[in-house]
Amino acid sequence: MDLAADWADISQGLRKDLGQQLHSQWIKPIQLGSFAKDDGTLDLFLPTEFSANWVADRFADRLSLAWKIARPDIRNVRISVSPARRAPQGLRFGSADGQRRSNDTNPPAQPGDALGMGAAELGSLGQSSIGLDPSLTFTTFVTGSANVLASNAAQRMAATETPQFAPLYLKAATGQGKTHLLHAIGHAYLVAHPRARIFYCSAERFMVEFVQALRQNQTIEFKARLRGFDLLLVDDIQFIIGKASAQEELLYTIDALLAEGKRLVFAADRAPQALDGVEQRLLSRLSMGLVADIQPADIELRRSILEHRLQRFSPTHVPADVVEFLARTINRNVRELVGGLNKLIAYAQLTGQAVSLQLAEEQLTDILSANRRRITIDEIQRTVCQFYRVDRTEMASKRRARAVVRPRQVAMYLAKVLTPRSYPEIGRKFGGRDHSTVIHAVRLIEDLRTRDADMDGDVRSLLRQLES
């Protein structure tokens, strides 16, 4: 098998798709491994665990599909660290290995690696050397009513001026953008403070590094370096639950950094008061600044996110009905929404097919199934009647008064948009009306939405209520 030739073609296609910067940083370092014919698995290697995890999270589906198209006998693609680069994990205080990696700007270092470097050494590093994802910036973060508070607070935290609140605590469910904002703060802070010392890590990584320092009798060095940072970014703080010694060290670190006017940002999937097993003093420190919620993205924000992402995929055309379909259907979190769009466009580009509603339904079955909440016609009728203040019986009545007909038509339209019911089935739920009456109602409301801002506003409001 001439895997090298196939990889050259696949890599070239990804360079056109992703752009030169992302390709150079994440795809170009990939090395071909062995191919196991018995189970059809191809190994792809990257130089560090961080880069391997990053590529696996974001490009695994795309790489797997590309290889399957190039070589049908390749059924699985496994992304991992190159065997030649694997080494025991741990703190490297002033080691030769740490010095080599700090000067290597091609593969990004692991987030925790910054702890193993001196202050002067760290101050000269570029953005990729402190574990920040280059694609997660304020420019690529789409703001809406659900996240405007957190976004504005994050930008204030990264600005030149000293923020009025400290620390900043970002609270959001999985996949809603809190990690994106952490990385964005780091990038923007480096722009405002080019010689700043920044440390980004997960709470779990913090605990691992602390325990290793204890075992190696290097706690003094650990504390000195940790408190030498100008900006501390800690993700998934809920995972520090129950670790008494790590909690105590984090508490002392917060106090030391705040006393020196330095900046701290934490992120978690729950509010500080909801963190079980956390010492009260630490809870007090986490909540003493600003706790900024990121709410689930509403339909308008999901549309904006998709439209923003589509700018990266030009000239691939994604029809408006596909964008609307994805925005309405993939509503659990932003990560799934963006992942679904990426998968759909990657499949279309690699197979030469046009993006369509049918293709989206075929290729995103798992994502769509996980996100669909069954909305019933009864629920739609009840919501519409409450909105327009009409009696529920009017949905099935024969009255032709405009105050009754228009809400009934809106309910029929929503039933068609939000449920899999056919026109005859919808008609039967509205007093046994003929399917042609339902078709007329759906087309009428569609037309009115384009011409009448009040009608479009009513429908949008009802959609938000029903999809919440």
399 and 306 within one domain:
no
53 and 119 within one domain:
no
**Which of 51, 85, 119 is the last residue before a domain boundary?**
85
**Domain presence at residue 19:** yes
**Domain presence at residue 127:** yes
**pLDDT at residue 118 in the model:** 34
pLDDT at 395 over 80: yes
284 and 187 within one domain:
yes
359 and 274 within one domain:
no
**pLDDT at residue 1 in the model:** 55
What distance in Å separates the CA atoms of residue 150 and residue 294, rounded to the nearest whole number? 6
Higher pLDDT, 22 or 271: 271
pLDDT at 230 over 80: yes
**Domain presence at residue 92:** no
**Domain presence at residue 150:** yes
281 and 145 within one domain:
yes
The mean per-residue pLDDT over the stretch 87-113 comes to 32
259 and 128 within one domain:
yes
pLDDT at 99 over 90: no
How much is the mean pLDDT over the chain? 82
pLDDT at 108 over 70: no
**pLDDT at residue 409 in the model:** 95
**pLDDT at residue 179 in the model:** 93
The mean per-residue pLDDT over the stretch 150-164 comes to 92
**pLDDT at residue 186 in the model:** 93
**Domain presence at residue 448:** yes
256 and 173 within one domain:
yes
Q: What is the pLDDT of residues 248-257, one digit of tens each?
A: 888 988 999 9
310 and 288 within one domain:
no
Tally the domains of the chain: 4
**pLDDT at residue 130 in the model:** 57
242 and 364 within one domain:
no
Domain of 452, CATH number, reads 1.10.1750.10
pLDDT at 169 over 60: yes
pLDDT at 318 over 70: yes
In the chain, the percentage of residues whose pLDDT exceeds 90 is: 36
Higher pLDDT, 336 or 49: 336
318 and 171 within one domain:
no
178 and 67 within one domain:
no
Higher pLDDT, 99 or 381: 381
Min mean pLDDT across 8-17, 280-289, 350-359, 421-430 is at 8-17
The mean per-residue pLDDT over the stretch 64-85 comes to 81
Closest-CA residue to 339 (of 61, 65, 104): 61
The domain containing residue 385 runs over which residues? 377-467
**Which of 311, 340, 368 is the last residue before a domain boundary?**
368
pLDDT at 407 over 60: yes
List, in sequence order, every residue forming a beta bridge with 246; answer none if it has no partner.
none
**Domain presence at residue 96:** no
In the chain, the percentage of residues whose pLDDT exceeds 70 is: 88
What distance in Å separates the CA atoms of residue 288 and residue 281, rounded to the nearest whole number? 11
462 and 324 within one domain:
no
Q: Between the CA of residue 301 and those of 176, 191, 296, 306, 328, what are the distances in Å?
A: 11, 27, 9, 9, 11
Higher pLDDT, 377 or 239: 377
pLDDT at 264 over 90: yes
**pLDDT at residue 372 in the model:** 67
Higher pLDDT, 106 or 10: 10
pLDDT tier, 204 (very low <50, low <70, confident <90, very high otherwise): confident
Residues 6+ apart with CB under 8 A from 49: 81, 110
CB 368 within 8 A of CB 420: no
Planar angle of CA 116, 117, 121, nearest 5 degrees? 170
pLDDT tier, 242 (very low <50, low <70, confident <90, very high otherwise): low
Name the 3-class secondary structure at 302: helix
pLDDT at 334 over 80: yes
